[in-house]
Amino acid sequence: MIKNDMNLLARYQEIHKEKAAQYSANKIYAVILLVLFLVIGAYSLKLFLDNNMLKGEVNDLQAYVESPNVIARMNEIATLQDNIKKLDEMAAEVGSINEVLKTAVRFDSNTLNVLFYNRPSNVEFQNISFQQGALLVTVTGPRPSDPSNYVLRLQRTDYFKEVTYTGYAYDAGSSQYTTTIRLVMKGRD
């Protein structure tokens, strides 16, 4: 049978050891908490300072870009750019119109002179009609060769783009051959 003797010293040392361990654990906890607070605090402070700094920069930038002077000048530039775009569009539109009108056929005495001065002496005009770039000239002559002579003379002038006729008819009452010549006019260069 084992004999259990009372050992007060051992018991004292045991209790003291437990307390010491307890105190040391509390210290560690406190240190950890302190470090944690410091880290969180420092990081939060950094974020706070960054935030404030950014706020200041944003406010400065906003004040610049939204200043009435800058807005007015930017509006003026936008209007100028818009006007230039509209002027470009206008120039393209009116340019294409002028290109067409510049080369348009013009019917005037020059054409009539060509018709008159190339006419064989015995050929007489009955009617001259101009319609959208083409001329129809009705002439009479006493000989069947008169229409073709006149057409060939007109072709030789090179004044017209095309000179055509499709025949002639003899009128016994007037003893005249009548023909209608079609002439296509050239546009201006």
Partner 1 sequence: MSISKREALLLFIMGVMAILVVSITFVILPLQRNIETLELQKSQLETRKAVIDATLPLAPSLRNRQEEKLVVVNDELAKIEDPINAAEFERWILPITTKYDMRITSVSLSEPAISTPSGMIILVDEPSYQLKTLVEGYKGEATLPDSAPSSSAQLLKSVYTYSVETTYSRYSALLDEIRQWNNTFMVSSSSYNFSTSLATITIDAYMIHKIEPSSDKDYSGDYVAGGSNGNPDDSDDDWPAK
CB of 5 to partner 1, least distance (A): 28
CB of 33 to partner 1, least distance (A): 7
For residue 109, give the 3-state DSSP assignment: helix
Q: How far is CA 142 from the centre of its chain?
A: 65
CB of 131 to partner 1, least distance (A): 5
Nearer to partner 1, 125 or 170 (CB): 125
CB of 18 to partner 1, least distance (A): 9
Nearer to partner 1, 7 or 110 (CB): 110
> Counting Cβ atoms within 10 Å, is residue 139 exposed (0-12), middle (13-18) or buried (19+)?
buried
Q: Answer whether 122's CB lies under 8 Å from 143's CB.
A: yes
Nearer to partner 1, 7 or 98 (CB): 98
Q: What are φ and ψ of residue 98, in 5° steps?
A: -65, -35
The DSSP code for 159 is -
Nearer to partner 1, 110 or 148 (CB): 110
Q: Answer whether 115's CB lies under 8 Å from 83's CB.
A: no
**Consecutive H or E run containing 165:** strand 160-171
Nearer to partner 1, 22 or 145 (CB): 22
Nearer to partner 1, 50 or 171 (CB): 50
CB of 8 to partner 1, least distance (A): 22
Residue 105's CB is within 10 A of a number of other CB atoms, namely 16
For residue 98, give the 3-state DSSP assignment: helix
Q: Residue with structure tokens 């906890």? A: 29
CB of 165 to partner 1, least distance (A): 15
